[in-house]
Amino acid sequence: MLAAPAPALSQSIESGKSDYLRLCALCHGLESTGLGPLREAMKIAPANLTLITRRHGGKFPADYVKRVITEGGGIRGHGSSAMLAWGPVFNAEQDGASPDARIEELTRYIESIQQR
């Protein structure tokens, strides 16, 4: 059995997860492997978000992930805007937690699902 994370951390991962399920799962899928229902309608396949650490030499690139969430896929240099920018959504939704805190929690959630 895995050691339980500290309460504060697991709580923030849970709130990151609820944002993930609401905003991201349609494309990236419930398992985050890129198999969401919208993928058939996309020209560029949604990325498998459980392999980010593997693709980045074993270290989770939190700053990169935050930038993709905030600014969209265009930052990858492919000129693709298939991955939408969510910064404006987090800025527009004022439901208590600050946009930065929620983006941090979402990023931690994605870190927590990385395959080793």
Contact 111, 60 (CB under 8 A): yes
Nearest distance from C-beta of residue 9 to ligand HEC, angstroms: 18
Q: By CB under 6 A, tell whether 28 contacts ligand HEC.
A: yes
Contact 16, 107 (CB under 8 A): yes
Q: What is the Cα–Cα distance from 40 to 46, expressed in whole angstroms?
A: 10
Whichever of 13 and 52 has its CB closer to ligand HEC, that residue is: 52
Residue keyed to tokens 């030499």: 57
Q: By CB under 6 A, tell whether 83 contacts ligand HEC.
A: yes
The number of CA neighbours under 13 Å toward the Cβ of 50 is 12
- Give the alpha-carbon dihedral of 94, 96, 11, 64, to 10 degrees: 40
Q: By CB under 6 A, tell whether 47 contacts ligand HEC.
A: yes
Whichever of 76 and 97 has its CB closer to ligand HEC, that residue is: 76
Q: By CB under 6 A, tell whether 103 contacts ligand HEC.
A: no
Binding interface with ligand HEC (CB under 6 A)? 23-24, 26-28, 38, 42, 44, 46-47, 49, 52, 55, 65, 68-69, 73, 76, 78, 80, 82-84, 86, 106
